[in-house]
Amino acid sequence: MSLKDQITDDMKTAMRAKDSERLGTIRLLQAAMKQKEVDERVTLDDAAIVAIVDKLIKQRKDSIAAFEGAGRQDLADKEKAELAVLQVYLPARMSADEVSAAIQAIVAEVGAKGPGDMGKVMGVVKTRLAGKADMGQVSAAVKAALAG
């Protein structure tokens, strides 16, 4: 079953269970997917859907930090609930050791020598590790690998 089908099935299940918070989050995800399909005139594959989910998760994390900083715990809790629903659709994340090993291999493959090659390395890393690892951690690991 494709990720798109799974999301549709989960939406139907949430409707039947009258789980309004989960349903709202899934509908938000579907709206983002539909927007991308209409804007780019494409049919999304699982990798593109994972990228959309990743983007929505990043937005939720940023919102949580902002709301907690402003003392709005009620809004932060709502964002955390949405975050939990969205994380279900991500593939299993790579461990820090796996990310580090993958980056070392890519640095060697590309022949990167120093911080000036960051863009070259990140281009390859993004295509290979998209959805599998948190890109913030990946970026920090690439910087560390190129600095050392």
pLDDT for res 98: 81
Domains along the chain? Answer: 3-87 (1.10.1510.10), 96-147 (1.10.10.410)
CA–CA gap between residue 137 and residue 115 (Å, rounded): 16
pTM assigned to the model: 0.73
pLDDT in tens, 59-91: 999 999 999 999 999 999 999 999 999 999 888
* Mean pLDDT computed over 37-61: 90
pLDDT for res 35: 95
pLDDT for res 74: 94
pLDDT for res 131: 67
Q: What is the DSSP string of 21-70?
A: HHHHHHHHHHHHHHHHHHHHT----HHHHHHHHHHHHHHHHHHHHHHHHT
Q: Is the pLDDT of residue 148 over 80?
A: no
Q: Is the pLDDT of residue 119 over 70?
A: yes
* Mean pLDDT computed over 87-97: 81
